[in-house]
Structure 1
Amino acid sequence: MTNQNTPPKVIGESDCFLEVLEHVSRVTQLNRPVLVVGERGTGKELVAERLHYLSERWSKSLIKMNCAALNQELLESELFGHEAGAFTGATKRHQGRFERADGGTLFLDELATMSMRTQEKLLRFIEYGEFERVGGSTTLSADVRLVAATNVDLPQLADQGKFRHDLLDRLAFDVVTLPPLRARKEDILLLAEHYALSMCKEMGLPYFTGFSANAVQQLHSYTWPGNVRELKNVIERCISRWGENPDAIDHIQIDPFESPFRLVQPSSDTTAIQPERSSLNTIAPQPIKTNPNPDFPLDFKESVEDYEQSLIKAALEETRFNQRRAAELLGLSYHQLRGSLKKYSLLKTTPDNIEEHEH
């Protein structure tokens, strides 16, 4: 955690990461939008903070907004504000993020989730510095430096008609692309030790015992799809489980679900054991065998009716002609079964007075 008005601490010595830091330093003083691109967990928000606190706007507000956190109607209201009565529940005027960020920086994360209508309003603000509150008619202005972030290919989305090309052109005045952790091999152990020391301090442990050669090999051989965020979680969990063990950490449990008793989703071709709905299901009727190689030509309707009758007869025999229980075995309602019995004139084959026993 960084102090207010202080650039966040960054950790890394790999060439590709140092190049990114140099790139960020060059654009901090420009009052133009910056687009930060990278996989999840690579530190896009960290770059946004660095862009703000190393700029002349460092003493003003840094306002953050995750565009995926709200539906589009609420997002538009949260960004631009709304007037009282603009919609149900809007009892008073609400100041949006652009107004609150006046003189400072607005960071928009998950930009690709923004609707086309909101994109159009954002484009107008970038071009003219103007906007209107939802439900309002007064044109407002704000001096805001915009930093946006995404983990998807925006040019591809634009080509697919899912993102405005003109907005992309404005946002991409400069693009900072963050390298994934697997491309920063030199930084993996450096980051792991940093998070380990922080966790030891948080837990009140006397010292960090270090990583064994086997643990280091695990750290370097894993691809880290969640990048730095995933590494941080893995190391902190590892320290919390290792506790005050005086030996060096010899195994990194990367997957928290790893267990000999891990739940496994049954495959689609495996018949699941169904719970008994009643004692009637303890003995299931034998399935009616059908001829896999019927003699053609045949009367399709007649063959289907014959098969349906054979199923009904088998269910009745299985339940000793208890029609309600037979309907349950067939997955039918009682009235559906009664209709089929009448259709095929099977009621007369049912033993006398069986209905009286069912009631």
Structure 2
Amino acid sequence: MSRKPFVKRQNQAALIEKYRMLGESETFLDCMQRVSRAAKVNRPILIIGERGTGKELVAARLHYLSPRWQQPRITINCAAFSKELLESELFGYEQGAFTGAVRAKPGRFELADQGSLFLDELANSPHALQEKLLRVLEYGEFERVGGVGTIGVDVRVIAATNQDLPTLCRRGRFKEDLLDRLSFEVITLPPLRSRIEDIPLMASNFAVRMAREMDLGSAPRFSRYAIESMMAYHWPGNVRELKNTVERAVYRSEGEVIEELELDPFASPFRPCVDPEPYPSESKTLNLRSGVADVAAVAAAPTPISSNGVSNLPDAVAALERSMIEAALQRYQFNQTKAAEDLGLSYYQLRRLIKKLGLSLGQDDEASAD
């Protein structure tokens, strides 16, 4: 056997490993099995998933597991361009097609010839462009912007979105013909909350990578509480959010064990208000023309005093927090996960409040965690 095919296999294996996704849950493994099967078939693939679930990683694996793996892999985010620019980016343009087109330029379809083109956030594309995409998928040909000659290409299209395309079709915002052509195989990526058993493995892997990047020697371990916090959290940003959380914890760590995680990096008493209270109205507090306060209105306004006699706002808020948390914990026999859900908090947020307020759980913290 010649050495050349072996070298190619090794290169392909390295590329596949580069875009490896982590997980051992049945949900995750079933999804990866579908990816491996679909990669071998020369048909369009549609990837659907929430933000941060790894749609671009799956697109890369589809390419490098396919017979086209040695050919170009081109990517474009359809949401990053205006309607006008997106067409010229995809299909190219001829010299003089518009102001500033001083020379002809090939588009992404030409650059991806014989390879794969990944169309990310495809749901944001305009109808006119969807018509042109449909023609490329059907016949493998198109015209550049401002051109008259037909260009033929052999491109495998992999599209992705975090939106419900069938619903968009019913609302007239996405072409049904294009959806039919794209959906030879639809791969729906599970959100992280649907495979929580993968979280400890992923967190450990991200921690090791971050420690290596920071030359720490060894990565810190996660405490039982930290692991439970990660597994109880909803993860709206999915794997990307988990990776950020773990890397932030490693970067801030000062010991061998990470005891707690900051799941919400924006949590702060100094966080700016998105919709601040408007200035007091002229009729009740201030005559804006004269700059003189309406004394009668101010005097008539009641002074808020809590039922326990606390008139200081921070103390009143703390008292309310304490009473609501204590009541929820009692209601659920100190099951903190259920109490947090009832209070509209994450498990981690509740734990932080319990610690901040110095609440006694009436039993060992770990035993009462859930």
Q: 2:273 aligns to what? A: 264
Give the C-alpha shift of residue 267 in structure 1. 5.5
Q: 1:248 aligns to what? A: 257
Q: What do residues 64-89 of structure 1 show as CA deviations (whole Å, max 9, x unaligned)?
A: 00000000110000000000111111
2:40 and 2:176 map into 1 onto residues whose CA distance is: 26
Larger radius of gyration: 1
Contiguous gaps of at least 5 residues in structure 2: 1-12, 283-287, 298-370
Q: Which amino acid aligns with 1:253?
A: E
TM-score, normalization by structure 2: 0.72
Give the C-alpha shift of residue 272 in structure 1. 9.1
Give the C-alpha shift of residue 284 in structure 1. 3.7
1:7–1:50 CA contact under 8 A, matched in 2 = no
Give the C-alpha shift of residue 209 in structure 1. 2.0
The percentage of aligned residue pairs carrying the same residue is: 52
Does 2:54 correspond to 1:43? Answer: yes
Does 2:179 correspond to 1:164? Answer: no
TM-score, normalization by structure 1: 0.74
Q: 1:239 aligns to what? A: 250
Q: 1:328 aligns to what? A: none
Q: 1:332 aligns to what? A: none
Does 2:61 correspond to 1:71? Answer: no
Q: What do residues 171-200 of structure 1 show as CA deviations (whole Å, max 9, x unaligned)?
A: 001100100000111111111111111111
1:10 and 1:124 map into 2 onto residues whose CA distance is: 33
Q: Which amino acid aligns with 1:200?
A: A
Q: 1:271 to 1:192 in 2, by over 3 A?
A: farther
Q: Which amino acid aligns with 2:30?
A: E
1:78–1:97 CA contact under 8 A, matched in 2 = yes
Q: 1:186 aligns to what? A: 197
1:205 and 1:39 map into 2 onto residues whose CA distance is: 33
Q: 2:24 aligns to what? A: 13
Q: 1:319 aligns to what? A: none
1:37 and 1:266 map into 2 onto residues whose CA distance is: 33
Q: 1:105 to 1:266 in 2, by over 3 A?
A: closer
Q: Which amino acid aligns with 1:250?
A: E
Q: Pairwise mapping of residues 98-117 of structure 1 onto structure 2 (< 5 A)?
A: 98-117=109-128
Q: Pairwise mapping of residues 94-243 of structure 1 onto structure 2 (< 5 A)?
A: 94-242=105-253
Q: 1:282 to 1:230 in 2, by over 3 A?
A: same
DSSP 3-state at the match of 1:36: strand
2:113 and 2:14 map into 1 onto residues whose CA distance is: 21
Give the length in aligned residue pairs. Answer: 280
DSSP 3-state at the match of 1:235: helix
1:61–1:103 CA contact under 8 A, matched in 2 = yes
Say what the alpha-carbon RMSD is for the aligned residues. Answer: 2.2
DSSP 3-state at the match of 2:79: coil
Q: Pairwise mapping of residues 339-354 of structure 1 onto structure 2 (< 5 A)?
A: none
DSSP 3-state at the match of 2:240: helix
Q: 1:355 aligns to what? A: none
Contiguous gaps of at least 5 residues in structure 1: 274-278, 289-359
Q: Which amino acid aligns with 2:170?
A: D
2:260 and 2:195 map into 1 onto residues whose CA distance is: 22
1:7–1:54 CA contact under 8 A, matched in 2 = no
Q: What do residues 316-349 of structure 1 show as CA deviations (whole Å, max 9, x unaligned)?
A: xxxxxxxxxxxxxxxxxxxxxxxxxxxxxxxxxx
Q: 1:233 to 1:7 in 2, by over 3 A?
A: closer
Q: Which amino acid aligns with 1:251?
A: E
Q: What do residues 256-285 of structure 1 show as CA deviations (whole Å, max 9, x unaligned)?
A: 112233333466577499xxxxx9865346
Q: Which amino acid aligns with 1:143?
A: D
2:249 and 2:237 map into 1 onto residues whose CA distance is: 16
Q: Which amino acid aligns with 1:20?
A: C
2:274 and 2:187 map into 1 onto residues whose CA distance is: 41
DSSP 3-state at the match of 1:228: helix
DSSP 3-state at the match of 1:193: helix
Q: 1:3 to 1:92 in 2, by over 3 A?
A: farther
Q: What do residues 219-243 of structure 1 show as CA deviations (whole Å, max 9, x unaligned)?
A: 011010110011111111111111x
2:47–2:160 CA contact under 8 A, matched in 1 = yes
DSSP 3-state at the match of 1:107: strand
Give the C-alpha shift of residue 206 in structure 1. 2.1
